[in-house]
Amino acid sequence: MDKLKDREASLREQEKDLRAKLAEARQLKAELSAREREESDKLERAERAEAERRAREHARREAAEQRRLRAQQEETRQELAEGTITGEATAPAEDGPVSEGAEAAIAFAEAQVGEPYVWGATGPGTWDCTGLTQAAWRAAGVEIPRVTWDQVTAGTSVPVDELRPGDLVFFFDDISHVGLYTGGGHMIHAPRPGASARSESICTMPIHSAIRPG
């Protein structure tokens, strides 16, 4: 009888220890979950802060680029008014023949008129200047590089007075802008933040050079 009582007491003690350990395990699990949630919250806050920082930096670059382009355009308008821009800014007197590839590139660019400029955008729906010209010539089956400094060497150099529709016209001394020549002294281009792709005279900016892709 005493052995049975001792056995029952031992079992009760073991059960008590087991319950204590179970409670401790539950507490540890709750504490771990709390730490995990805290770490997750910290990571989320850090990612959100980094995203906001990048957005501010992107907005700062776009604003600076817009101010630069506006200043350059204003300078060009003044030079046009004063007659000090060289003959390089003069549209060709007569357009040359249009190739099938150029027709396809122009058709693509015309379809994007009215879509907004977004710095770094390559479509669809939003464009920067080189994103638009690259996509236009891609529609014609011709791959050209992504940025102006590479696009300016991606074809045959042509004098401005011998431009043909489909040629790429580059602007400013730093080759920071490009448009797709469509004939009659006009081009389609994505001009700057806050504006949309549009047709405009090539004489609104100082021309650097021009190339014929393909």
**Residue 202: which CATH number?**
3.90.1720.10
Higher pLDDT among residues 71 and 165, named by residue: 165
The reply to whether 138 and 76 lie within a common domain is no
pLDDT at 83 over 50: no
What interhelical angle do 100-111 and 129-139 show, nearest 10? 130
| Active-site pick, 129, 186, 203, 208 | 129
The reply to whether 95 and 199 lie within a common domain is yes
The reply to whether 42 and 118 lie within a common domain is no
User: Is the bond leading into 92 cis (omega within 30 degrees of zero)?
Assistant: no
Higher pLDDT among residues 122 and 87, named by residue: 122
Domain boundary among 69, 84, 99: 84
The reply to whether 16 and 49 lie within a common domain is yes
The reply to whether 124 and 78 lie within a common domain is no
Tokens of 41: 């919250």
Helices (DSSP H) in the chain: which residue ranges? 2-82, 100-111, 129-139, 148-151
- pLDDT of 84 reads 43
In the DSSP assignment, the letter for residue 162 is G
Higher pLDDT among residues 49 and 182, named by residue: 182
Instruction: Judge whether 186 counts as a catalytic residue.
Output: no
Confidence of residue 55 (pLDDT cuts 50, 70, 90): low
| Active-site pick, 186, 189, 203, 208 | 189
The string of pLDDT tens digits covering residues 194-213 is 899 999 999 999 999 999 99
| Active-site pick, 177, 186, 203, 208 | 177
Tokens of 149: 């400094």
Domain boundary among 23, 53, 84: 84
- Show the domain range for 19: 1-84
pTM over the 0.85 mark: no
pLDDT at 130 over 50: yes
pLDDT at 86 over 50: no
The reply to whether 80 and 102 lie within a common domain is no
Longest dimension (CA), the chain: 122
For 186, the enclosing helix (H) or strand (E) is strand 186-189
The reply to whether 80 and 167 lie within a common domain is no
Domain boundary among 84, 117, 151: 84
The string of pLDDT tens digits covering residues 1-39 is 565 566 666 667 776 776 777 777 677 666 666 666 677
The reply to whether 106 and 68 lie within a common domain is no
- pLDDT of 155 reads 96
The reply to whether 74 and 98 lie within a common domain is no
The reply to whether 106 and 80 lie within a common domain is no
The reply to whether 122 and 80 lie within a common domain is no
- Is beta strand 156-157 parallel, antiparallel or unpaired with respect to 168-171? unpaired
Instruction: Judge whether 203 counts as a catalytic residue.
Output: no
Q: Quick one: average pLDDT of 113-133?
A: 96
Confidence of residue 75 (pLDDT cuts 50, 70, 90): low
The reply to whether 112 and 203 lie within a common domain is yes
- Chain-wide mean pLDDT for the chain? 81
Task: Give the chain's domain count.
Answer: 2
